[in-house]
Amino acid sequence: MEPVVFKPPLYQQRYQFVKSYVDTYKPKKVADLGCSECALLHTLRFWDCIEVLVGLDIDEDVLRRKMHTLTPLAAHYLEPSKTSLTVNLYQGSVTQKDPALLGFDLITCIELIEHLKADDLADFREVLFGFMAPFTVIISTPNAEFNILLPKCTGFRHPDHKFEWNRREFQSWATEVAECFNYRVEFTGVGEPLQDSKNVGFCSQIAVFTRNYTESEESLKRKMEYKSVYKTQFIPKEENEESHNTDTEDEEPHNTDNEHGHCMDLKLTSKWPTLPQTEQDENMEPFLQGDTLYVPLQKIFCVPKVKELCGNMDNLRTMITGEATLSTDGNAILYHVDLENSF
Protein backbone atom coordinates (compact mmCIF):
# COMPACT_ATOMS: atom_id res chain seq x y z
CA MET A 1 0.00 0.00 0.00
CA GLU A 2 1.25 3.49 -0.89
CA PRO A 3 1.97 5.53 2.23
CA VAL A 4 -0.44 8.45 2.68
CA VAL A 5 1.35 11.77 2.36
CA PHE A 6 -0.46 14.86 3.58
CA LYS A 7 0.36 18.23 2.10
CA PRO A 8 0.70 20.26 4.21
CA PRO A 9 1.59 17.73 6.93
CA LEU A 10 -1.32 16.60 9.09
CA TYR A 11 -0.18 18.43 12.23
CA GLN A 12 0.01 21.66 10.25
CA GLN A 13 -3.50 21.08 8.93
CA ARG A 14 -4.71 20.75 12.53
CA TYR A 15 -3.00 24.02 13.47
CA GLN A 16 -4.39 25.64 10.33
CA PHE A 17 -7.87 24.62 11.39
CA VAL A 18 -7.40 26.43 14.71
CA LYS A 19 -5.86 29.47 12.98
CA SER A 20 -8.83 29.72 10.63
CA TYR A 21 -11.15 29.64 13.63
CA VAL A 22 -9.12 32.39 15.31
CA ASP A 23 -9.16 34.43 12.11
CA THR A 24 -12.92 34.19 11.89
CA TYR A 25 -14.01 34.52 15.52
CA LYS A 26 -11.20 36.66 17.00
CA PRO A 27 -10.98 35.12 20.48
CA LYS A 28 -9.05 37.21 23.03
CA LYS A 29 -8.17 34.51 25.54
CA VAL A 30 -6.95 31.23 24.10
CA ALA A 31 -5.59 28.14 25.88
CA ASP A 32 -4.07 24.98 24.45
CA LEU A 33 -4.34 21.90 26.69
CA GLY A 34 -1.70 19.21 26.19
CA CYS A 35 0.33 21.87 24.37
CA SER A 36 3.48 19.72 24.40
CA GLU A 37 6.36 21.74 22.86
CA CYS A 38 4.11 24.79 22.38
CA ALA A 39 4.06 24.60 18.58
CA LEU A 40 0.45 25.76 18.27
CA LEU A 41 0.99 28.55 20.81
CA HIS A 42 4.02 29.58 18.79
CA THR A 43 1.94 30.04 15.67
CA LEU A 44 -0.79 31.94 17.58
CA ARG A 45 1.37 34.30 19.62
CA PHE A 46 1.27 37.27 17.26
CA TRP A 47 -2.36 37.04 16.28
CA ASP A 48 -3.55 40.58 16.89
CA CYS A 49 -6.87 39.64 18.51
CA ILE A 50 -5.25 37.37 21.13
CA GLU A 51 -4.37 39.05 24.42
CA VAL A 52 -3.85 36.02 26.63
CA LEU A 53 -2.34 32.75 25.50
CA VAL A 54 -2.02 29.83 27.92
CA GLY A 55 -0.41 26.44 27.50
CA LEU A 56 -0.94 23.53 29.86
CA ASP A 57 0.83 20.19 29.83
CA ILE A 58 1.37 17.49 32.41
CA ASP A 59 4.98 17.11 31.31
CA GLU A 60 7.14 19.99 32.53
CA ASP A 61 10.20 18.82 30.57
CA VAL A 62 8.33 18.90 27.30
CA LEU A 63 7.08 22.41 28.10
CA ARG A 64 10.55 23.63 28.95
CA ARG A 65 12.09 22.19 25.79
CA LYS A 66 10.92 24.95 23.50
CA MET A 67 9.29 27.52 25.76
CA HIS A 68 11.96 30.07 24.91
CA THR A 69 10.70 30.12 21.35
CA LEU A 70 7.74 32.09 22.71
CA THR A 71 10.02 34.97 23.64
CA PRO A 72 9.87 37.89 21.19
CA LEU A 73 12.86 38.37 18.91
CA ALA A 74 14.30 41.51 17.39
CA ALA A 75 12.29 40.86 14.22
CA HIS A 76 9.06 40.99 16.23
CA TYR A 77 10.08 44.32 17.67
CA LEU A 78 10.54 45.65 14.16
CA GLU A 79 7.01 44.61 13.20
CA PRO A 80 5.20 45.18 16.46
CA SER A 81 1.63 44.45 17.37
CA LYS A 82 -0.64 47.19 18.70
CA THR A 83 -1.99 45.02 21.48
CA SER A 84 -0.24 43.46 24.42
CA LEU A 85 0.02 39.72 24.81
CA THR A 86 0.61 37.66 27.93
CA VAL A 87 1.77 34.08 27.51
CA ASN A 88 1.59 31.67 30.45
CA LEU A 89 2.71 28.09 30.53
CA TYR A 90 1.57 25.78 33.29
CA GLN A 91 2.51 22.30 34.33
CA GLY A 92 -0.60 20.52 35.47
CA SER A 93 -3.23 18.02 34.47
CA VAL A 94 -6.39 18.60 32.51
CA THR A 95 -8.08 16.64 35.30
CA GLN A 96 -7.34 19.46 37.78
CA LYS A 97 -9.51 22.52 38.29
CA ASP A 98 -7.48 25.72 38.42
CA PRO A 99 -8.78 29.29 38.07
CA ALA A 100 -5.91 30.03 35.67
CA LEU A 101 -8.13 28.53 32.99
CA LEU A 102 -11.35 30.35 33.73
CA GLY A 103 -12.89 32.89 31.38
CA PHE A 104 -11.41 31.69 28.07
CA ASP A 105 -12.94 32.33 24.67
CA LEU A 106 -11.29 29.31 23.07
CA ILE A 107 -9.67 26.18 24.47
CA THR A 108 -8.04 23.71 22.10
CA CYS A 109 -7.19 20.07 22.82
CA ILE A 110 -5.25 18.87 19.80
CA GLU A 111 -4.55 15.13 19.85
CA LEU A 112 -4.85 15.06 23.64
CA ILE A 113 -7.86 12.98 24.65
CA GLU A 114 -6.56 9.69 23.27
CA HIS A 115 -3.68 9.98 25.77
CA LEU A 116 -6.08 9.97 28.75
CA LYS A 117 -7.06 6.85 30.67
CA ALA A 118 -10.80 6.27 31.07
CA ASP A 119 -10.92 7.79 34.60
CA ASP A 120 -8.97 10.85 33.49
CA LEU A 121 -11.15 11.29 30.43
CA ALA A 122 -14.21 11.34 32.68
CA ASP A 123 -12.61 13.96 34.96
CA PHE A 124 -11.38 15.94 31.96
CA ARG A 125 -14.83 16.40 30.50
CA GLU A 126 -16.11 17.66 33.86
CA VAL A 127 -13.12 20.00 34.26
CA LEU A 128 -13.18 21.36 30.71
CA PHE A 129 -16.90 21.74 30.13
CA GLY A 130 -18.17 22.05 33.69
CA PHE A 131 -15.43 24.13 35.32
CA MET A 132 -13.34 25.93 32.66
CA ALA A 133 -16.46 26.27 30.50
CA PRO A 134 -14.89 28.33 27.70
CA PHE A 135 -17.06 29.78 24.94
CA THR A 136 -15.57 27.39 22.35
CA VAL A 137 -13.72 24.08 22.63
CA ILE A 138 -11.90 22.46 19.71
CA ILE A 139 -10.99 18.81 20.20
CA SER A 140 -9.10 16.74 17.66
CA THR A 141 -8.34 13.04 17.92
CA PRO A 142 -7.34 10.23 15.52
CA ASN A 143 -10.12 8.66 13.49
CA ALA A 144 -9.54 4.90 13.85
CA GLU A 145 -11.35 4.22 10.57
CA PHE A 146 -8.56 5.95 8.69
CA ASN A 147 -5.90 3.58 10.06
CA ILE A 148 -6.46 1.04 7.28
CA LEU A 149 -4.89 3.63 4.95
CA LEU A 150 -1.78 3.92 7.14
CA PRO A 151 0.43 0.96 6.18
CA LYS A 152 2.81 1.35 9.14
CA CYS A 153 -0.01 1.47 11.67
CA THR A 154 -0.53 -2.02 13.07
CA GLY A 155 -2.16 -1.11 16.39
CA PHE A 156 -2.71 2.41 17.64
CA ARG A 157 -0.94 5.29 15.90
CA HIS A 158 1.17 6.01 18.99
CA PRO A 159 2.25 3.68 21.85
CA ASP A 160 0.90 6.13 24.47
CA HIS A 161 -2.62 6.16 23.02
CA LYS A 162 -5.16 4.69 25.43
CA PHE A 163 -7.81 4.41 22.69
CA GLU A 164 -8.56 5.48 19.14
CA TRP A 165 -12.19 6.07 18.28
CA ASN A 166 -14.08 5.66 15.05
CA ARG A 167 -16.41 8.46 14.00
CA ARG A 168 -19.44 6.98 15.68
CA GLU A 169 -17.64 6.57 19.01
CA PHE A 170 -16.20 10.10 18.98
CA GLN A 171 -19.45 11.67 17.90
CA SER A 172 -21.49 9.84 20.49
CA TRP A 173 -19.03 10.86 23.28
CA ALA A 174 -19.00 14.47 22.10
CA THR A 175 -22.76 14.68 21.64
CA GLU A 176 -23.36 13.36 25.13
CA VAL A 177 -20.84 15.85 26.56
CA ALA A 178 -22.49 18.70 24.69
CA GLU A 179 -25.94 17.75 25.98
CA CYS A 180 -24.73 17.32 29.51
CA PHE A 181 -22.89 20.68 29.71
CA ASN A 182 -25.20 22.80 27.56
CA TYR A 183 -23.01 23.15 24.48
CA ARG A 184 -23.75 22.52 20.82
CA VAL A 185 -21.26 20.53 18.77
CA GLU A 186 -20.30 20.24 15.11
CA PHE A 187 -18.01 17.66 13.53
CA THR A 188 -15.38 17.99 10.86
CA GLY A 189 -11.76 16.96 10.39
CA VAL A 190 -8.47 17.35 8.57
CA GLY A 191 -6.40 14.96 6.48
CA GLU A 192 -8.62 14.03 3.56
CA PRO A 193 -8.50 10.44 2.29
CA LEU A 194 -7.92 9.77 -1.40
CA GLN A 195 -10.93 9.85 -3.69
CA ASP A 196 -11.51 6.08 -3.74
CA SER A 197 -11.43 5.69 0.06
CA LYS A 198 -13.76 8.51 1.04
CA ASN A 199 -15.86 6.37 3.32
CA VAL A 200 -13.20 6.25 6.04
CA GLY A 201 -13.53 9.93 6.98
CA PHE A 202 -10.78 12.37 7.91
CA CYS A 203 -7.47 11.21 9.39
CA SER A 204 -7.92 13.55 12.38
CA GLN A 205 -11.52 14.03 13.46
CA ILE A 206 -12.47 17.33 15.03
CA ALA A 207 -15.35 18.46 17.23
CA VAL A 208 -16.10 22.16 17.71
CA PHE A 209 -18.22 22.84 20.80
CA THR A 210 -19.92 26.17 21.40
CA ARG A 211 -21.41 27.15 24.75
CA ASN A 212 -25.14 27.83 24.73
CA TYR A 213 -25.23 30.01 27.83
CA THR A 214 -23.53 33.21 28.94
CA GLU A 215 -20.64 33.08 31.33
CA SER A 216 -21.13 33.15 35.11
CA GLU A 217 -18.57 34.45 37.60
CA GLU A 218 -19.29 31.46 39.77
CA SER A 219 -15.89 29.82 40.15
CA LEU A 220 -13.18 32.45 40.58
CA LYS A 221 -12.64 31.35 44.18
CA ARG A 222 -11.05 28.01 43.32
CA LYS A 223 -7.57 27.31 44.55
CA MET A 224 -4.50 27.09 42.30
CA GLU A 225 -3.48 23.56 41.32
CA TYR A 226 -1.06 24.17 38.47
CA LYS A 227 2.60 25.06 38.75
CA SER A 228 3.53 28.18 36.80
CA VAL A 229 6.45 27.32 34.52
CA TYR A 230 6.88 30.37 32.34
CA LYS A 231 5.37 33.75 31.70
CA THR A 232 6.24 36.29 29.09
CA GLN A 233 4.53 39.52 28.21
CA PHE A 234 4.61 41.54 25.02
CA ILE A 235 3.61 45.10 25.73
CA PRO A 236 3.30 47.89 23.15
CA LYS A 237 6.20 50.22 23.81
CA GLU A 238 4.15 53.38 24.27
CA GLU A 239 2.57 51.71 27.28
CA ASN A 240 5.86 50.59 28.72
CA GLU A 241 8.75 52.91 27.92
CA GLU A 242 9.96 53.01 31.52
CA SER A 243 10.18 49.27 31.94
CA HIS A 244 13.45 49.30 30.01
CA ASN A 245 14.96 50.79 33.11
CA THR A 246 13.49 48.35 35.60
CA ASP A 247 14.56 44.83 36.28
CA THR A 248 12.11 44.06 39.05
CA GLU A 249 9.95 41.06 38.36
CA ASP A 250 6.64 42.25 39.68
CA GLU A 251 6.59 45.88 38.69
CA GLU A 252 3.69 46.81 36.41
CA PRO A 253 4.41 48.76 33.22
CA HIS A 254 3.71 52.51 33.30
CA ASN A 255 1.93 54.49 30.64
CA THR A 256 4.22 56.97 28.95
CA ASP A 257 4.32 58.70 25.60
CA ASN A 258 6.81 57.28 23.18
CA GLU A 259 8.20 59.05 20.19
CA HIS A 260 9.41 55.80 18.63
CA GLY A 261 5.97 54.34 18.00
CA HIS A 262 4.61 51.08 19.31
CA CYS A 263 7.49 48.67 19.68
CA MET A 264 6.86 45.81 22.07
CA ASP A 265 8.68 45.25 25.27
CA LEU A 266 9.34 42.03 27.07
CA LYS A 267 8.90 41.26 30.73
CA LEU A 268 9.73 37.90 32.14
CA THR A 269 8.57 36.47 35.39
CA SER A 270 10.04 33.06 34.81
CA LYS A 271 12.67 31.39 36.96
CA TRP A 272 15.46 32.13 34.53
CA PRO A 273 18.78 33.02 36.16
CA THR A 274 19.77 36.65 35.88
CA LEU A 275 22.97 36.86 33.89
CA PRO A 276 25.63 39.40 34.86
CA GLN A 277 25.70 42.75 33.06
CA THR A 278 28.63 43.11 30.65
CA GLU A 279 31.21 45.72 31.56
CA GLN A 280 30.92 48.68 29.25
CA ASP A 281 33.50 48.75 26.45
CA GLU A 282 35.35 45.70 27.73
CA ASN A 283 36.22 42.86 25.31
CA MET A 284 34.12 44.45 22.60
CA GLU A 285 35.65 42.91 19.49
CA PRO A 286 34.66 39.49 18.11
CA PHE A 287 37.46 36.93 18.27
CA LEU A 288 38.12 33.41 17.07
CA GLN A 289 39.16 30.67 19.49
CA GLY A 290 39.73 27.32 17.79
CA ASP A 291 36.75 26.90 15.52
CA THR A 292 34.45 29.08 17.68
CA LEU A 293 33.76 32.72 16.91
CA TYR A 294 32.87 34.80 19.99
CA VAL A 295 30.71 37.85 19.27
CA PRO A 296 30.36 39.94 22.45
CA LEU A 297 26.77 40.93 23.17
CA GLN A 298 28.06 44.40 24.00
CA LYS A 299 29.15 44.73 20.38
CA ILE A 300 25.66 43.81 19.16
CA PHE A 301 24.07 46.06 21.77
CA CYS A 302 26.05 49.02 20.43
CA VAL A 303 24.11 48.88 17.16
CA PRO A 304 21.74 51.84 17.69
CA LYS A 305 18.60 50.01 16.46
CA VAL A 306 19.31 47.05 18.75
CA LYS A 307 19.88 49.36 21.70
CA GLU A 308 16.65 51.18 21.00
CA LEU A 309 14.67 47.98 20.63
CA CYS A 310 16.09 46.06 23.59
CA GLY A 311 16.57 48.86 26.07
CA ASN A 312 19.09 46.93 28.12
CA MET A 313 21.50 44.03 27.87
CA ASP A 314 19.28 41.66 29.86
CA ASN A 315 16.46 42.06 27.36
CA LEU A 316 18.90 41.37 24.52
CA ARG A 317 20.11 38.22 26.30
CA THR A 318 16.57 37.09 26.91
CA MET A 319 15.70 37.52 23.26
CA ILE A 320 18.72 35.53 22.17
CA THR A 321 18.31 32.72 24.69
CA GLY A 322 17.12 29.58 22.97
CA GLU A 323 17.80 31.03 19.52
CA ALA A 324 21.61 31.08 19.61
CA THR A 325 24.33 29.57 21.79
CA LEU A 326 25.61 31.88 24.52
CA SER A 327 28.99 31.66 26.26
CA THR A 328 28.85 30.31 29.82
CA ASP A 329 29.05 33.83 31.27
CA GLY A 330 26.20 34.88 28.98
CA ASN A 331 28.20 37.72 27.49
CA ALA A 332 28.88 36.48 23.95
CA ILE A 333 27.18 34.60 21.16
CA LEU A 334 29.12 31.59 19.96
CA TYR A 335 29.25 30.58 16.31
CA HIS A 336 30.80 27.38 15.15
CA VAL A 337 33.03 28.14 12.18
CA ASP A 338 33.56 25.31 9.76
CA LEU A 339 37.22 26.08 9.02
CA GLU A 340 37.64 23.07 6.77
CA ASN A 341 34.81 24.05 4.44
CA SER A 342 35.12 27.79 4.66
CA PHE A 343 37.01 28.25 1.42
Ligand X SMILES: C[S@@+](CC[C@H](N)C(=O)[O-])C[C@H]1O[C@@H](n2cnc3c(N)ncnc32)[C@H](O)[C@@H]1O
Strands 183-190 and 227-236, sheet pairing:
unpaired
Cα–Cα distance measured from residue 146 to residue 10, given in angstroms and rounded to the nearest whole number: 13
List binders of Mg ion among 124-163 (CB under 5 A).
158
Give the one entry of ligand X, Mg ion, none that residue 112 binds, where binding means its C-beta sits below a cut-off of 5 to 8 angstroms depending on kind: ligand X
Query: Residue 111 interacts with Mg ion (CB under 5 A)?
Result: yes
Q: Looking at the DSSP assignment, which residues form a beta bridge with residue 294?
A: 287, 334
Q: Looking at the DSSP assignment, which residues form a beta bridge with residue 209?
A: 137, 185
Residue whose C-beta lies closest to ligand X? 34
Question: Vertex 219, ends 214 and 223: CA angle to 5°?
Answer: 155
| # binding residues, ligand X (CB under 6 A) | 20
Query: Residue 57 interacts with Mg ion (CB under 5 A)?
Result: no
Amino acid letter, 141: T
Query: Residue 318 interacts with ligand X (CB under 6 A)?
Result: no
Instruction: Decide: residue 67, CB within 10 A, 0-12 exposed, 13-18 middle, 19+ buried.
Output: buried
Query: Residue 36 interacts with ligand X (CB under 6 A)?
Result: yes
Are 41 and 70 spatial neighbours (Cβ–Cβ below 8 Å)? yes
302: three-class secondary structure by DSSP: coil
Query: Residue 206 interacts with ligand X (CB under 6 A)?
Result: no
| # binding residues, Mg ion (CB under 5 A) | 2
Residue whose CB is less far from Mg ion, 111 or 145:
111
Query: Residue 122 interacts with ligand X (CB under 6 A)?
Result: no
Please state the closest distance from residue 113 (CB atom) to ligand X, in A: 9
Query: Residue 115 interacts with ligand X (CB under 6 A)?
Result: yes
What would the DSSP string read from start to end of 37-93? TTHHHHHHTT-TT--EEEEEES-HHHHHHHGGGGS--HHHHHS--SS-EEEEEEE--
Out of 94, 100, 138, 297, which residue is the one contacting ligand X (CB under 6 A)?
A: 94
Out of 51, 60, 120, 242, which residue is the one contacting ligand X (CB under 6 A)?
A: 120
Residue whose CB is less far from ligand X, 17 or 301:
17
List binders of Mg ion among 202-261 (CB under 5 A).
none
Residues near ligand X (CB under 6 A) are: 11, 34-36, 39-40, 56-59, 62, 93-95, 110-112, 115-116, 120
